[in-house]
Amino acid sequence: MTWMVTGGAGYIGAHVVRALREAGTAAVVLDDLSTGHRRFVPESVPFVQADLADTDAVRAALVEHGVTGVIHVAGFKYAGVSVDRPLHAYRVNVTGTASLLQAMQDAGVERVVFSSSAATYGTPDVDLVTEATRTAPESPYGESKLIGEWLLADQARATGLRHTSLRYFNVVGSGDPALPDTSPHNLFPLVFDALVAGRTPRVYGDDYPTPDGTCVRDYVHVADLALAHVAAARRLEAGEPVEPVYNLGSGRGTSVRQIMDTMAAVTGIAFTPEVHERRPGDPARIVADGRLAARDLDWRMRHSLEDMVASAWAARRAGEPAPTR
């Protein structure tokens, strides 16, 4: 069995590739390097640089490498930016996914694990989000991920495609110091960048109806997330039943202030975050019930909050001098 990881040169995709290899499963990476890094792909893993919208190139890669399943991680992942660039988000996430599914059909590849998102839920009105919670995305990004799930379901009805979608919550940490999160929009890199530059990190709103007034989110370690992809791929390979969607969340929330306190403790850089006004559309709390994934995908929290911060900080610092403050 050989699994193609689209977006395998990115932060999450590269962790999935390593988890596949550690499980003894052959992998091939397809990535256009628009946000990924060639150095994230191990030299022993075949690499194809191509745009998902290029159906012929994707089809050729599937055939050449004898691919039997796809873990589809590639995508435009910035919810806030997607509001200003909706057409780009749809081209990458919807048109790209449709192109991939066409290439898979042409090549006779009948298994896919799809990288979805908690953004499909929008602002939920429940304390604990389950897979049955109503989807109501509030950004083109969230909408595009939900459409991706629909595409898989429609293709399954038409062709027998076997699929599952993993709805990520807040993915952080690093399973390898060589694999940092380099997103310019995610909380951890934003805080680390501020600390490295000698700036004070920001908190947006401290008057929410939460224990300490700051937003509560569901943080999961990227290495745990990668293992869930491998488990999903194995179930598809074995012909075992899978749910159409799984939440990958911890079942417990962590506030932004708790994150900041842990970052100060782990980095050794004392700071009091600047408090700014709330950002429009930020819900007070989003926490997921991950019991379905625990049942089927061996989904569990193998890392503490301190582990998440420490591993992310180690990856951020790798190759550069420690900051002074």
Catalytically annotated residue among 11, 90, 121, 141: 141
| Separation between Cα atoms, residue 116 and residue 72, nearest integer Å | 9
CB 217 within 8 A of CB 124: no
Q: Please choose, from the candidates 216, 228, 96, 242, the residue with its C-alpha nearest in 3D space to the C-alpha of residue 156.
A: 242
Cα distances (angstroms) measured from residue 150 to each of 90, 130, 197, 233:
14, 18, 43, 19
How many Cα atoms occupy the beta-carbon half-sphere of 154 within 13 Å? 10
Active site residue 141: yes
CB 325 within 8 A of CB 264: no
The residue count for the chain: 325
Q: Is the torsion defined by CA of 136, 138, 139, 140 positive or negative?
A: positive
Q: Could you list the active site residues?
A: 141
